């Protein structure tokens, strides 16, 4: 009998919402390099900072949709220890753009619990997938296939294939990257980080924490 133990819980869905306004919004922004020869992030917003785009009044409906799905995911699969129901909030959020020849460097998201992404464009033909790295793979003491080639390492990377209206949540500690964008079409996406809000843990425990303490 074969068993997979210690699974990593993620969430994926194809939404039925109309994201045409989000697409138009993303095209009006200026973009800057996140790192040389890699992906770009949206800038020059009026009404919100570039790393908190979901605070923009025109995107409030998107934020509600994203949190609806995450709360369903959280309440079903990610129950946190607490006497009270733990709320969550989106902290940072940003648009990402990858042109032909660009890529996303190998990284994870600090100061965050879960991260999410939304592919809101109409067509992702030949778009580079996002690859999540298996955190256990780093403890493998034997050579595997070339880790720079994502598609050749199914035990090391899990690929999220870009698809219109796809939403995906994953633990922020997971390192991820993308291969080089080879298609001529520019790849757009929306990304964000999520953090718990409220009383976490049991108040009789030395690990009890209330996020209100951060502002006191």
In tens, the pLDDT along 90-113 reads 999 999 888 888 888 888 999 999
Residue range 27-52: mean pLDDT, rounded: 70
pTM: 0.84
Q: The tokens of 95 are what?
A: 């648009």
Is residue 6 included in any domain, yes or no? Answer: no
151 falls in which pLDDT band (50, 70, 90)?
very low
Whole-number pLDDT of residue 179 = 84
Share of the chain above pLDDT 70, in %: 81
Is residue 213 included in any domain, yes or no? Answer: no
Share of the chain above pLDDT 90, in %: 44
Q: For residue 47, is pLDDT > 80?
A: no
Whole-number pLDDT of residue 102 = 85
Whole-number pLDDT of residue 100 = 85
User: How many distinct structural domains can be found in the chain?
Assistant: 1
The rounded distance, in Å, linking the Cα atoms of 123 and 125 is 6
In tens, the pLDDT along 62-88 reads 999 999 999 999 988 887 665 567 789
DSSP string across the chain = -----SPPP-EEEE-----HHHHHHHHTSEEEESSTTS-EEEE--SSS-TTBGGGSGGGHHHHHHHHHHHHHHHHHH-PPPBSSPPEEEEEEEEEEEE-TT----SB--SS-SEEEEEE-SS--TTPPPEEEEPTTGGG--S--S-TTSGGG-TTTEEEE---TTEEEEEETTS-EEE----SSSPEEEEEEEEEEESEEB-TTSTT-EEGGGGG-
Phi, psi of 149 (to 5 degrees): -100, 100
In tens, the pLDDT along 168-189 reads 999 999 999 988 888 788 899 9
Average pLDDT, the chain: 83
Whole-number pLDDT of residue 71 = 92
The CATH number linked to 165 is 2.60.120.620
Q: For residue 135, is pLDDT > 80?
A: yes
Is residue 207 included in any domain, yes or no? Answer: no
Q: The tokens of 177 are what?
A: 């990257």
Residue range 143-150: mean pLDDT, rounded: 50
> What is the domain range of residue 67?
11-141+161-196
Is residue 38 included in any domain, yes or no? Answer: yes
């Amino acid at each position: 009998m074969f068993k997979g133990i210690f699974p990593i819980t993620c969430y994926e869905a194809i939404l039925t919402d109309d994201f045409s306004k989000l697409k138009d919004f993303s095209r009006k922004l200026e973009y800057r390099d996140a790192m040389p020869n890699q992906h770009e992030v949206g800038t020059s917003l009026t009404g919100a900072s570039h790393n908190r785009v979901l605070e923009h009044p025109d995107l409030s409906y998107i934020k509600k949709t994203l949190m609806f799905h995450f709360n369903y995911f959280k309440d079903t699969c990610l129950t946190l220890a607490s006497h009270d129901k733990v709320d969550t909030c989106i902290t940072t959020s940003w648009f990402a753009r990858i042109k032909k020849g660009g890529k996303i460097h190998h990284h994870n998201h600090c100061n965050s619990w879960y991260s999410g992404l939304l592919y809101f464009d109409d067509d992702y033909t030949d778009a580079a997938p996002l690859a999540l790295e298996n955190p256990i793979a780093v403890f493998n003491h034997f050579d595997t296939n070339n880790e720079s080639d994502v598609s050749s390492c199914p035990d090391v990377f899990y690929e999220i294939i870009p698809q219109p209206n796809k939403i995906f949540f994953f633990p922020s500690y997971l390192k991820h990257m993308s291969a080089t964008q080879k298609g001529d079409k520019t790849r757009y996406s929306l990304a964000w980080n999520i953090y718990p809000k409220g009383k976490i843990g049991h108040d009789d425990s030395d690990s009890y924490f209330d996020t209100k303490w951060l502002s006191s």
